[in-house]
Amino acid sequence: MEERNLEKALELAATLLRGEEVSAKGANVALYEEYSSNSQVYDLLRLILKKFDLELYEYNNALFVSAGENNRSFGFTNEELRRAIGVKVNKELFLCYLIIYNIMTEFYKTSGSYTFAEFVRVEEIIKAVDNSLANVIDRSEGLVLDEVEENSFKVLALLWDELAVVSTEDLQGQRAARNSKTGYVKLTFNFLVSQGLFIENQGKYYPTDRFKAMAENYYSQNRGRLYEILTQKADKEGGNATD
């Protein structure tokens, strides 16, 4: 019995790593039932994935895996992410990270708070990023991009501030590029679609169950820590920090 359970757990792990759906419906129902009804398979699968530094998420009667924070085998390096998204340097990649965070907050404001928004548009994300960086730059300082540390929120704010807003209609039929706020958001959404996290339909981006599973678990595990870091960092760099 133990050998059979180990085989089932390994089969489950292999199926998830191939990117196949494991849920209460579809081709792998039997595997999902093994996970949900057999405690030994459940424990073995979680142990196997933990050893490979993989996170297991469950949402809407389906299973999803994601690489751990420092997983070099199954995750992305910064260089790989730059290529996948279509940006050139780290400050542009960090701006895409910030865009992804703002996309998440359109659905999840705090831990355990899902707004049930059906979809988002590019214009809404541009506004959200504008708001999140609004107090980072003190324009009276006359700062330029080369004077700011690459890993600061101020460099992201300056980079974002230099970009124009191009209407999505003007981008119709054109490839998303790094020459506008709209282009950066489109590049980021293109990446999220390629990872199975969103579906695009006529300019509307709908979150998939994979996105919901990962976003909910992020907030459950981190308690909105990125939001705290962002707001505290913005306050300090915008000159609003208190001792």
Q: Are strands 62-67 and 54-59 parallel, antiparallel or unpaired?
A: antiparallel
Q: How far apart are CA 10 and CA 179, in angstroms?
A: 46
| 210 and 186 both lie in a single domain | yes
| 160 and 211 both lie in a single domain | yes
- pLDDT higher at 85 or 216: 85
CA dihedral defined by 85, 78, 98, 87, rounded to 10 degrees? -40
What is the pTM (predicted TM-score) of this model? 0.78
- Domain of 32 in residue numbering reads as 2-67
The SS3 of residue 113 is strand
| 57 and 91 both lie in a single domain | no
pLDDT tier for residue 243 given thresholds of 50, 70 and 90: very low
| 205 and 146 both lie in a single domain | yes
pLDDT score of 114 more than 90: no
123-168 residue pLDDT tens: 999 999 998 888 776 554 555 444 445 557 788 888 898 898 877 6
The residue to which tokens 């196997």 are assigned:
48
- pLDDT higher at 61 or 225: 61
Decide: 97 and 195 in contact? Cβ < 8 Å: no
Which CATH number covers residue 23?
A: 1.10.10
Two tokens, residue 189: 């959404």
For the chain, the domain total comes to 2
218-234 residue pLDDT tens: 665 654 455 555 555 44
pLDDT of residue 141: 53
Residue 73 covered by a domain? no
Of 46, 67, 88, the residue that ends a domain is 67
28-51 residue pLDDT tens: 999 999 999 999 999 999 999 999
| 113 and 50 both lie in a single domain | no
| 82 and 63 both lie in a single domain | no
pLDDT of residue 140: 47
pLDDT of residue 160: 92
pLDDT of residue 96: 94
Residue 242 covered by a domain? no
| 61 and 82 both lie in a single domain | no
| 118 and 60 both lie in a single domain | no
Q: How far apart are CA 190 and CA 28, in angstroms?
A: 28
Of 21, 48, 67, the residue that ends a domain is 67
Of 14, 40, 67, the residue that ends a domain is 67
Residue 72 covered by a domain? no
| 41 and 124 both lie in a single domain | no
DSSP 8-class letter at 88: -
CB neighbour list of residue 200: distance below 8 Å, 6 or more residues apart: 189, 193, 206
Residue 243 covered by a domain? no
